[in-house]
Every structure is written in structure tokens, then in C-alpha cells.
Amino acid sequence: MIKCYLINLNKDHERLNFFTTNFKRLGIEFERIAAVDGRTFSEQDFQAFLKDRPRSNNKTWMRGQMGCFLSHEAAWNKIAQSNERFSAVFEDDVHISDDLKSILIDDNWIPDDVDIIRLETSTNRVQLSLRPILTHAKRKMYGVKSTTWCTGGYLINRRAARQLIELPPQHHHPSDVILFNFEDSTIAKKLNILQCFPAVCTQDKHLSSGNLQFSSNVELDESASPLSLAMKIKQANPATITSGLWRALQGYKRITFE
């Protein structure tokens, strides 16, 4: 079984129980990594962190982003020092598919030149290779060709983890930026990143309100209903429709979760 790491704040017992129950149901073991809470840093330490990691275009760090980055960095350190060829990293609010175990059963199906396989959905449409690079356990793995977001669940090669922890601080960014932002990250475009499609996990905030566990005030997204979609098409100007068709032909897809 591929080694799994869970990032979880010490105070988030409900999330830990939620994650443990779902993984135990599938017989998947994991090692917990105590997440870093950026809110506990003194102002002096926070400013020292910012000084070493300036961001361009007037972008800065929020304390939550700092904590998330340091938490994932702790996971990368463990992976880089391990004997595992591939390891999995999860955040504690992910909902998982029953097919996840088939993905994690071993790493024999993953070519060594693959750096990262995204296992989750994304908040944006992502440009994927027109044909799958791999097929495994009823899932297709497409090459990622554009910026994507979120770090709720991914497989990472030990080699890639080493590359990440060796990056100088001035090249650090929030975790999803450093891994998957082709515009801002100095390493993302150099990594061979695949997307599991459909995704086998998704963060709680991306589910419909009826399934939410950890959010209290989520607005319903009616944009995907057939009626609203028809109205959008009717109201769209020709340039918008042409742009949408062009993006579809270029391989931009919404990552679904099943």
C-alpha cells in the first residue's frame, strides 16, 4: 500500500475522526502530521517568514497560507527522507471514493518519470492532455497543461519532494501555487503532473450543501442546472461561445468527483 500522510491541526478532532472513519472503512492506514497553525506565530516570526519569501505583483501571504505551506512542507520532508517511491498527502476535510483504495494499493502502475498525480477536484477548469497518459482502476490520468488549484489529495514522487524542499525560500509560495501554478511557480512547469479523472477525492467545501460536514454558510450553486445553463447560452454573446468552444477543443475540463 502506498504510504499516506494526513495533515491535521491538533485541535481539529472532528476532522480527524471524519478522516479516520472514511479511511478505516476502506482499510487504508495513514500517518498523521500535525499541521502548522499560522495564527499562533508571533508578529515578529510572521514578518521574518514574509521577508524571506517575497511574492511578486503585490501578492502577499496570509497566515493561513503560511500554515498550509509549512504543513505540506513537513510532509515533503518526510517523503524525501523515506524509502517510498511514491507517497500520498491528504488534507483532513476530503471526501473519498471507494475506488481510492485501488489507486493506493501499490505504485507499480506509475511510471518513474511522473512527479505528481492530483487525486482531487479543482476550483477551475483545467487544460488536460487530449488523451489519457495512463489508465488505472477505472480512472484515467491526463497530463496537466495549465494552472490548477487545491492540495487536498495528491500522490508525489520522492524525487519531486526532494526538489521542493531544496527550493530556496525566495521561490516559496502557498502550497497549491508552488505545486500547480504555471505562472507564478518556478517549479510547477518543470514537474510532470497528472490529473486523476474522475477525481477520487474532493474537499468538503466543494460538495453540494447537503453533504457538507465542516462549512456552515454555503450558498447553493445553481449555475450547473439545465435551465440556468440554457439561459447562459441564450444570453452569451458569440465571442463568449467561441471562446468556450475553443477552450473545450484545447482540453479544458471541469474535474468531477465520483
The residue-averaged pLDDT of 11-25 equals 97
Domain borders along the chain are 3-217
In this prediction, residue 27 has a pLDDT band, given cuts at 50, 70 and 90, of very high
Of the candidates 180, 187, 137, the one whose C-alpha atom is nearest the C-alpha of residue 165 is 187
The answer to whether the CB of 87 falls within 8 A of the CB of 2 is yes
Strands 116-118 and 153-157, bridge-based pairing: antiparallel
Rounded to whole angstroms, what are the CA distances from 218 to 205, 211, 222? 8, 11, 12
H-helix segments, 26-81: 43-52, 63-80
The answer to whether the CB of 103 falls within 8 A of the CB of 119 is yes
Q: What is the pLDDT of residue 245?
A: 57
- Rounded CA gap, 39 and 247, in Å? 40
pLDDT of residue 250 exceeding 60, the answer is yes
In this prediction, residue 235 has a pLDDT band, given cuts at 50, 70 and 90, of low
Q: What are phi and psi of 201, to 5 degrees?
A: -155, 160
Q: What is the pLDDT of residue 206?
A: 86
Of the candidates 207, 211, 205, 215, the one whose C-alpha atom is nearest the C-alpha of residue 257 is 207
Q: What is the pLDDT of residue 188?
A: 98
> Rounded to two decimals, what is the model's pTM?
0.86
Dihedral angle sign, alpha carbons of residues 106, 112, 114, 116 = positive
Q: What is the pLDDT of residue 229?
A: 37
- Rounded CA gap, 29 and 156, in Å? 17
Q: Which residue has the higher pLDDT, 250 or 21?
A: 21
Average pLDDT over the chain, rounded to whole? 89
Strands 139-143 and 134-136, bridge-based pairing: antiparallel
Q: What does the pLDDT look like over 66-105, one tens digit per residue?
A: 999 999 999 999 999 999 999 999 999 999 999 999 999 9
pLDDT of residue 135 exceeding 50, the answer is yes
Q: What does the pLDDT look like over 147-198, one tens digit per residue?
A: 999 999 999 999 999 999 999 999 999 999 999 999 999 999 999 999 999 9
Which fold would CATH assign to domain 3-217?
Answer: Spore Coat Polysaccharide Biosynthesis Protein SpsA; Chain A (3.90.550)
The percent helix, strand, coil of the chain (3-state, each to 5) is 40, 20, 40
